[in-house]
Amino acid sequence: MPFCAHKCEYCAFYSEPANGEVINRYVSALIREMEIVATEGFSNPNTVFFGGGTPSLLNLRQWEKVLDAMARLNLTGAAEWTVECNPATVSLDKARLLRERGVNRVSMGVQSLDEKLLDRLGRVHSREMALRSFETLRQAGFSSVNIDLMFAIPGQTLEVWRDTLNEAIALGSEHLSGYEVIYEEDTPLFAQLRAGEFDVNDELACAMYDELIDIAVAHGFTQYEVANFARGGDAAGEVPSHACRHNINYWRAGPCVALGPSATGYIDGCRAKNISNTPLYCELIESGRRPVESTETLSPLSRAGETAAFGLRMNQGWPFTTFKGVTGYDLRSEWREEINRLTGLGYGVETSERFHLTRQGLRYADWAAELFLR
């Protein structure tokens, strides 16, 4: 859902300003793309994820059209069905509609509970809206809610971050995501950094990440991926029951069908990306053409390397038998040098069953992942 009420200062995702007529046209085009997907044999998904943009910007009638089409095309009934929401666009009627139609998980982009930092990020919601929207979701019957938070925000202190974590956790959500601010080119925040309006403090960012892990774990969450924590974990280290199954499918290189502008799907080793232009997306769909901008078919080894890289983001890392079953390659032989390098640095641990990153290694998971690409 590529629409936002306002572009946040840090955001490099494709999105555009909300406009009622444009959204109506887009909803019709999206339904047509769903119909195309259904004719190709894709139905009864294991998971569904509406991301953006801001999916909760759609009004009741627009959501009804989307949900009716999904029911008609056998695209409902997923074991996990998530919709991203902005606290400023959550209403009880909308939340109840989504819950009644089968949506069973909401991911709410809170980012901060400090008013000054919300303003710094360009968020359109207030602290009070975030707290009130969480209660609205509970009232509508949602028993699985994720709260997104950000750290290393310019002007954010360790004390403010600690207070935000404690207050957010006190709400009682089932899932918590904590993301470090990334300075993407072509964003206002990146321009401010280049202009010298603030500096990046890597030492403080590391301290905030440690605080995230310590506080989340102390309050009953299990870390299962670099930035993600969920309730329902156990001492055996299994993936917790409230973990996001849709994202785990990405990290385990599972297939996914993607709809909408800028969306990227992955089927049978082929990655296909839709164009990042909503009017053109609609125009192509309306003329009976697919809105695909590019495709890429990876070689088996390249695909295996990418699979290894993404999977190492999870605390479990890769069980050797599972990795070979997914890719056909033995992680211990093809990537022996990389495994040895990471274990030597204290960033990885190899057992007879698996290879996984340590807590310190997870802090540098992106760098570690690059080593495994082919």
CATH number at residue 348: 1.10.10
Quick one: 86 and 141 in the same domain?
yes
Asked if the structure places residue 29 within a domain, the reply is yes
For residue 108, which of 262, 100, 98 has the smallest C-alpha distance? 98
Assigned token pair, 328: 């056909």
Instruction: Print burial letters for 105-116: b (CB count within 10 Å at least 16), e (below 16).
Output: bbbbbbbbbbee
Quick one: 287 and 327 in the same domain?
no
Quick one: 124 and 196 in the same domain?
yes
Asked if the structure places residue 93 within a domain, the reply is yes
Specify whether the backbone of 66 is left (phi greater than 0), alpha (psi in -120 to 50) or beta: alpha
Asked if the structure places residue 172 within a domain, the reply is yes
Asked if the structure places residue 35 within a domain, the reply is yes
Q: Give me the domain span that covers residue 314.
A: 301-372
Quick one: 85 and 114 in the same domain?
yes
Segment 41-69 shows an average pLDDT of 94
Asked if the structure places residue 140 within a domain, the reply is yes
Query: Mind listing the pLDDT tens digit for each residue in 219-230?
Result: 999 999 999 999
- Amino acid identity of 115? E
State the Cα–Cα distance between residues 315 and 354, nearest whole angstrom. Answer: 11
Query: Mind listing the pLDDT tens digit for each residue in 120-134?
Result: 777 777 889 999 999
User: Over 70: is that where the pLDDT of 363 sits?
Assistant: yes
Assigned token pair, 265: 């799907």
Quick one: 94 and 167 in the same domain?
yes
Query: Mind listing the pLDDT tens digit for each residue in 187-198?
Result: 767 677 677 877
pLDDT at 120: 77
Quick one: 228 and 113 in the same domain?
yes
User: Over 80: is that where the pLDDT of 185 sits?
Assistant: no
- Amino acid identity of 5? A
pLDDT at 67: 98
Quick one: 191 and 275 in the same domain?
no
Which of 242, 277, 297 is the last residue before a domain boundary? Answer: 297
DSSP structural state of residue 30: H
Which of 242, 272, 297 is the last residue before a domain boundary? Answer: 297
Asked if the structure places residue 256 within a domain, the reply is no
Quick one: 289 and 305 in the same domain?
no
Share of the chain above pLDDT 90, in %: 79
State the Cα–Cα distance between residues 55 and 168, nearest whole angstrom. Answer: 22
For residue 212, which of 145, 170, 164 has the smallest C-alpha distance? 164
Quick one: 52 and 116 in the same domain?
yes
Quick one: 216 and 274 in the same domain?
no
pLDDT at 10: 60
Please give the mean pLDDT across all residues of the chain.
92
Number of neighbours of residue 121 by Cβ within 10 angstroms = 21
Given pLDDT bands bounded at 50, 70 and 90, which one contains residue 233?
Answer: confident
Quick one: 224 and 291 in the same domain?
no
Query: Mind listing the pLDDT tens digit for each residue in 25-52?
Result: 999 999 999 999 999 999 999 999 999 8
CB 108 within 8 A of CB 148: yes
Asked if the structure places residue 258 within a domain, the reply is no
Asked if the structure places residue 257 within a domain, the reply is no
State the Cα–Cα distance between residues 215 and 89, nearest whole angstrom. Answer: 29
Given pLDDT bands bounded at 50, 70 and 90, which one contains residue 6?
Answer: low
Q: What is the β-pairing status of strands 16-17 and 3-4? A: parallel
**The domain spanning residue 212 has which CATH number?**
3.80.30.20
Q: Taking the model in full, what pTM does it have? A: 0.92
pLDDT at 16: 81
State the Cα–Cα distance between residues 222 and 243, nearest whole angstrom. Answer: 9
Helix (H, G, I), strand (E, B) or coil at 180: strand
Quick one: 367 and 279 in the same domain?
no
> What total of structural domains would you count in the chain?
3
Given pLDDT bands bounded at 50, 70 and 90, which one contains residue 216?
Answer: very high
